[in-house]
Amino acid sequence: MVSKGVGWCPVVKRQIHKVVFILTLGLAMPVFPGPVSAPDRTAAGIPLYTEVTIAAVGDVMVHSPQFRAQYREETGSYDFTNNFRFVKPYLLRADVALANLETTFGGEAVGYSGFPRFNTPDSLADALKDTGFDIIITANNHTFDTGINGLFRTIDILREQGLQVIGTRKTEEEASYIVKEINGIKIGFSAHTFETSRVSGKKTINGIIVPPEYEDLVDSFSYQHLDAGLPEIKERIEAMREEGAEFIVLYLHWGEEYQREPNRIQRRIAGILANYGVDLIFGSHSHVLQPIEYVWSDDGKNGALVFYSLGNFLSNQRYELLKKKYTEDGVIVYVEIKKDLHTGDLFIAGLSYLPTWVHKYTENRRQVYEILPLNDTLGNYEYYNLLTGESIRRAINSKRNTVSLFKKPPLPVAPQAHMLPAAGVEDFSTQPPDTAD
């Protein structure tokens, strides 16, 4: 449980072998409602709250140099586990972890490929499961890169690993969202991607025409037809509420590539979704991080915490290739939800984040990709294979980029005062790291 006035990382729910430190946001976060005084229950050892920690990351992409680097001649197979080995303990600490899969598992027979049509070896799914992810987002602009067969096969491969999929489905009879009970709290998860311009009235994803009979298998919306698309998301939210969801999480693929600020349409959509009662929005697609905001409904009764873009978690989008340095920056964000067991009220009680950076280097004539947890990395260069001045400089700059972007408080002053006249706020300030076991 997060104590009042303390900005610490969420409670560890799974066994890990190392105590890790997460840089927390210096943000004023709302408390819904205020503390409930119940000394009789406390004395009896009955808990006041139950809690869930949600972790989320941005885009998991595999360009051609990446899957070639993961091929192991000794086994004749691909292995992606080393990409995630340094961040695995940080994902295992959450109750549920989400990632956006910005590729497909179309199978070896159609040929593995990177941009512009992504098709990745199935073993990436093994690595995602091993790392601690639970829910994989499959609705994005690369969903149809290997056609409808690739869409179906991607779902199958993920499910074979015990991963849950949101955003796409194989038949109209099955759900493309989930309502998941975690620690006594029912949470609804749904994912939606933007469409590209329609061709002869037909839906397209990344310029690829979706056959009409399969259009409803991808959860999407059109920027040109928001008045039709957003009410469908409202219906989804209502369906999850009917299934008992007490807290609604949306993962949206939206915005403009390489832009570090959300655009007007993103902000408009976020406001409408706040009106619909969404509680938490994770965003992707820009391939760079974008700010965090608290967006309020028009009547001031509902606030949605919005991460406009979580950037790239894994990719080959490098400065030397794109001349865009922010594509190497990523983050693991943690949102702690608490439920008052006396009143049944839910509130966001904790918010923290861990800056990450994709380290690419050469070892024994082989390219290596590793996602680094920067708070721990920048005092242990040798352990994390930061062996050159250039790699150290880029890692330091990456952390500085993220901290600078995320430092602004997301709560607007007026709605905070209107919504919380007496409840007060919790100040999540940076804490010193624990001593490792």
Task: List residues bridging with 126 in a β-sheet.
Answer: none
Phi, psi (rounded to 5 degrees) for 44: -80, 0
Least Cα distance to 182 among 135, 130, 219 occurs for: 135
Q: What is the pLDDT of residue 125?
A: 98
Average pLDDT, the chain: 85
Q: What is the pLDDT of residue 430?
A: 34
pLDDT band at 228 (very low <50, low <70, confident <90, very high): confident
pLDDT digit string, tens, across residues 77-104: 999 999 999 999 999 999 999 999 999 9
pLDDT digit string, tens, across residues 359-380: 999 998 899 999 999 999 988 9
Q: How far apart are CA 113 and CA 115, in angstroms?
A: 7
Q: What is the pLDDT of residue 417?
A: 29
Segments making up each domain of the chain, as ranges: 27-37+44-428
pLDDT at 385 over 50: yes
- Once rounded to an integer, what is the mean pLDDT over residues 21-30? 40
- Once rounded to an integer, what is the mean pLDDT over residues 5-30? 36
Q: How far apart are CA 12 and CA 302, in angstroms?
A: 29
pLDDT at 160 over 90: yes
pLDDT at 20 over 70: no
Provide CB contacts within 8 A for 242, sequence distance 6+. none
Share of the chain above pLDDT 70, in %: 83
Q: What is the pLDDT of residue 287?
A: 96
Phi, psi (rounded to 5 degrees) for 388: -125, 155
Tokens 């025409």 belong to which residue? 209
Sign of the Cα torsion 223, 225, 231, 236 reads: negative
pLDDT at 433 over 90: no
Least confident of 10-14, 33-37, 193-197, 418-422: 418-422
Q: How far apart are CA 307 and CA 108, in angstroms?
A: 35
Q: What is the pLDDT of residue 44?
A: 57
pLDDT at 220 over 80: yes
pLDDT at 40 over 50: no
Q: How far apart are CA 371 and CA 330, in angstroms?
A: 9
- Once rounded to an integer, what is the mean pLDDT over residues 310-331? 93
pLDDT band at 408 (very low <50, low <70, confident <90, very high): low
Q: What is the pLDDT of residue 45?
A: 66
Per-residue exposure over 279-317, b if at least 16 CB sit within 10 Å of its own CB, e if not: bbbbbbbbbbbbbbbbbbbeeeebbbbbbbbbbbbbbbb
Q: What is the pLDDT of residue 121?
A: 98
pLDDT band at 322 (very low <50, low <70, confident <90, very high): confident
Q: Which amino acid is at 100?
A: N
Q: What is the pLDDT of residue 321?
A: 87
Q: How far apart are CA 322 and CA 286, in angstroms?
A: 14
Q: Within the chain, what is the greatest distance between any pair of CA atoms? A: 68
Q: What is the pLDDT of residue 337?
A: 94
Q: What is the pLDDT of residue 177?
A: 98
Q: What is the pLDDT of residue 147?
A: 95
Task: List residues bridging with 338 in a β-sheet.
Answer: 51, 347
Using only C-alpha atoms, the chain has a radius of gyration, in whole angstroms, of: 21
pTM of the model: 0.84
What is the token pair recorded at 424?
């007060």
Q: Are 305 and 28 in contact (CB under 8 A)?
A: no
Q: What is the pLDDT of residue 409?
A: 52
Q: What is the pLDDT of residue 30?
A: 36
What is the token pair recorded at 64?
């051609």
The CATH architecture one would assign to domain 27-37+44-428 is 4-Layer Sandwich (3.60)
